[in-house]
Amino acid sequence: MVESSLVSPDSFAAFAVSILGLIVVWDAFWLTRQRQDIPRLGELKGGGFAWKSEGPQEVIRQWGNLASMAAMMALPWALIGASDTSPLYAVVWDVLLALHLISLLVPKRFAVTRTHLFADGQRYDWKRLRLQRRQPARRIMLLRKGWGVFGPLPLGGAHNDLTVARQRIAMALDGTVEWNSTDASLTEQE
């Protein structure tokens, strides 16, 4: 009798579910920081600008991710029978993806300063970003340099906020336009 050296389906499923759980917790942690990183909205000292999105704007912003989540929720169910994996792992997988899906739809805060973009609880240096050539109508699409197809960084919000943000983003990426001040702080009051 030859022993199989392959990992058992349940062990592999537990590993995959654990990785997904870490990703969901990691993203949730960064989303909780957005109010701390961007305490005020509107015009910021130094010429920056901060705004927020609403739930429907997040649907527009995240439509590709939402479709991916739906496919990822259905995929394990097709593999359960073929791999002899416990259905419990597929249930936990779907619960974790549902939590992640909810976090995608939560309204977000964004800010543009002379030196950084603040989005999804993260701070991005302008040297690491570029504007996509063709811009969608109801969001701003930036691309993270060096990320290839995994680099889209969409920004959502109301039309007026996005108009102001596009101008500030162009100024930040151009680097030749003088900002109101050398201070690009998000936390100091004007």
pLDDT-derived band at 183 (thresholds 50, 70, 90) equals very low
Domains of the chain by residue range: 9-174
pLDDT of res. 34: 86
Query: Is the per-residue pLDDT at 174 higher than 90?
Result: no
Looking at residue 5, what is its pLDDT?
A: 57
Chain segment 31-54, per-residue pLDDT in tens: 888 888 889 999 988 889 999 998
Q: Is the pLDDT of residue 140 over 80?
A: yes
Own/partner pairs for 147-153, CB < 8 Å, 24+ apart?
Answer: 152/64, 153/119, 153/124, 153/129
CB 96 within 8 A of CB 17: yes
- The per-residue pLDDT for 97 is 93
C-alpha to C-alpha distance for 79 and 77, rounded to whole angstroms: 5
pLDDT value at residue 142: 92
Q: Once rounded to an integer, what is the mean pLDDT over residues 115-123?
A: 90
Instruction: Output the DSSP codes for 54-68.
Output: -HHHHHHHTHHHHHH
Rounded to an integer, the average pLDDT of 118-136 is: 89
Residue 189 in this model has a pLDDT that exceeds 60: no
pLDDT one-digit tens code per residue, 62-102: 888 888 888 888 888 888 878 888 899 999 999 999 999 99
Phi, psi of 123 (to 5 degrees): -115, 125
b/e 39-49 (16+ beta carbons within 10 angstroms → b)? eeeeebbbbbb
**What's the mean pLDDT when you consider all of the chain?**
85
